[in-house]
A and B are shown apart, each in its own frame.
Chain A
């Protein structure tokens, strides 16, 4: 019964909030810049080496996901069942299995050339 409101034409169906400074976005942006710069400097200046360095920059990348999800995608908000969290958690599980599993199992292959 309200489908006419949905499809517009009236320009309604939407009431804006008052104006406010986008603090959350600014903080998220600054944090993402800082994390990127740290990762960049760590690699280019050879602060650490090998696996430690890879672990550190991977950790920084994972923190970037958190920033995008929380500050920009408002992942934790919303009403009702959290199906999107379940879906993304499931995808994350597969991602870890695919990437980690592939790297792990292929590490037994020795040094064949393809």
Chain B
């Protein structure tokens, strides 16, 4: 347990004879935290918009009518599990196990893909019953908020695939370790955002 929770800086400190590149990798991770902070503000704006407009259904579909409990529950557990498997990929990286890393990261990407698939089918179903983005202020805010998260997840999947390719090609070194750490942070962040989507949009919608 003690070795499993070492952060990136600890990993990178080992095997680095000079401090220069170690600092650079740390700086890049710190920079990514800054990005996550700004991304959080983006989502804050979309959440604020949604909360203000969610009652304005213009006599169209209401949250209770279009939210499918089973669908969003599946999405939630899939994303929570993918956050866990992503953590296991990072754990395998810390142990220098490339095979384990690729396996867990592949599972994470597949879970992400099934999440996006469920979300797309949810959107298609909504549009099919007349709940389109232009129908009401509630639906505009809903599709923008949930869609922005879905877009983030989709980008995360492509990002993971490119990192898997790099790790297969170059192995686990300080650079690929830093890259995996950063995509891991991104993925856990998206899980946090989804927990709030699940709570504020879906649970409060069917309440």
Q: Which residues of A contact B (CB under 8 A)?
A: 1-3, 5-26, 28-29, 32-33, 36, 39-40, 43-44, 53-54, 57-58, 60-61, 64-65, 68-69, 71-74, 77-80, 83-84, 87-88, 90-92, 94-95, 98-99, 101-103, 106, 113-114
Question: Can you spell out 26 A-B residue pairs with CB atoms less than 8 angstroms apart?
Answer: A1-B18, A5-B16, A5-B17, A12-B173, A13-B175, A14-B174, A17-B6, A22-B87, A26-B84, A28-B84, A33-B80, A36-B198, A39-B199, A40-B73, A61-B196, A73-B188, A73-B189, A74-B5, A77-B9, A83-B34, A84-B30, A88-B37, A91-B36, A95-B43, A113-B56, A114-B53
A20-B11 in contact given A36-B80, A57-B199, A95-B44 (Cβ < 8 Å): no
Give the contact stretch, choosing among B89-97, B110-118, B123-131, B152-160.
B89-97
Q: How distant is the Cα of A92 from the Cα of B25 in the complex, in angstroms? A: 25
Q: Contact check: which of A17, A43, A72, A95 meets B206 at CB < 8 Å?
A: A43
B33 with A87: CB separation less than 8 A: yes
A-B interface contact total, Cβ < 8 Å: 223
* Minimum CB distance partner of B136 in chain A: A114
Tell me whether A29 and B15 are in contact in the complex, defined as CB-CB below 8 angstroms, given that A7-B175, A22-B88, A58-B199 are known contacts: no
Contact yes or no, A43 B203, CB < 8 A: yes
Cα distance, A78 to B25, chains bound together (Å)? 13
How many angstroms from the CA of A73 to the CA of B188 in the assembled complex? Answer: 7
Chain A residues positioned under 8 Å from B173 (CB to CB):
5-6, 8, 10-14
Note all chain A residues with C-beta closer than 8 A to B4.
17, 20-25
- Complex: A2 Cα to B58 Cα, angstroms: 62
Nearest-neighbor residue (CB-CB) of B199 within chain A: A61
Contact between chains at A13 and B15 (CB < 8 Å): yes
Q: How far is it, in angstroms, between the C-alpha of A88 and the C-alpha of B177 when the chains are bound?
A: 23
Contact status of A24 and B203, CB under 8 A, knowing A12-B15, A114-B56: no
Residue B171, interface by CB 8 Å: yes
| Minimum CB distance partner of A106 in chain B | B52
Q: What residues of chain B have their CB less than 8 Å away from a CB belonging to chain A?
A: 1-7, 9-12, 14-18, 20-21, 24-26, 29-30, 33-34, 36-38, 40-41, 43-45, 47-49, 51-53, 56, 58, 69, 73, 76-77, 80-81, 83-84, 86-88, 91, 94-97, 137, 170-177, 184-185, 188-189, 191-192, 195-196, 198-200, 203-204, 206-207
Residues of chain B within 8 A of A71, CB atoms compared: 87
CB-CB nearest in chain A for B100: A19
Closest beta carbon of chain B to A38's beta carbon, Å: 11
Residues of B within 8 A of A73 (CB): 184-185, 188-189
Interface centre among B12, B51, B52 (most CB of A within 10 A): B52
A94 touches B77 (CB 8 A): no
Known: A19-B97, A39-B198. 12 other contacts (CB 8 A): A5-B21, A14-B12, A25-B84, A57-B204, A64-B195, A72-B184, A73-B189, A78-B26, A79-B26, A84-B30, A92-B40, A99-B51
